Chain A
Amino acid sequence: GAGVSQSPRYKVAKRGQDVALRCDPISGHVSLFWYQQALGQGPEFLTYFQNEAQLDKSGLPSDRFFAERPEGSVSTLKIQRTQQEDSAVYLCASSPRRSGSYNSPLHFGNGTRLTVT
Chain B
Amino acid sequence: KQEVTQIPAALSVPEGENLVLNCSFTDSAIYNLQWFRQDPGKGLTSLLLIQSSQREQTSGRLNASLDKSSGRSTLYIAASQPGDSATYLCAVYGTASKLTFGTGTRLQVTL
Contact = CB atoms under 8 A, between A and B. Distances in A.
Given A42-B104, A108-B44, A110-B43, A103 B31 contact: yes
A4 interface: yes
Interface residues of B, number: 25
A94 to B, nearest CB: 11
Contacts of A103: 31-32, 49, 51
Contacts of B45: 108
Contacts of B43: 4, 6, 91, 108-111
Contacts of A102: 31-32, 51, 93
B41 interface: yes
Interface in B74-99: 89, 91, 93, 96-99
Nearest to A6: B43
13 contacts: A6-B43, A33-B99, A41-B103, A44-B101, A45-B99, A48-B97, A56-B97, A99-B98, A100-B97, A102-B51, A103-B32, A105-B49, A111-B42
Interface of B: 4, 31-32, 34, 36, 41-46, 49, 51, 89, 91, 93, 96-104
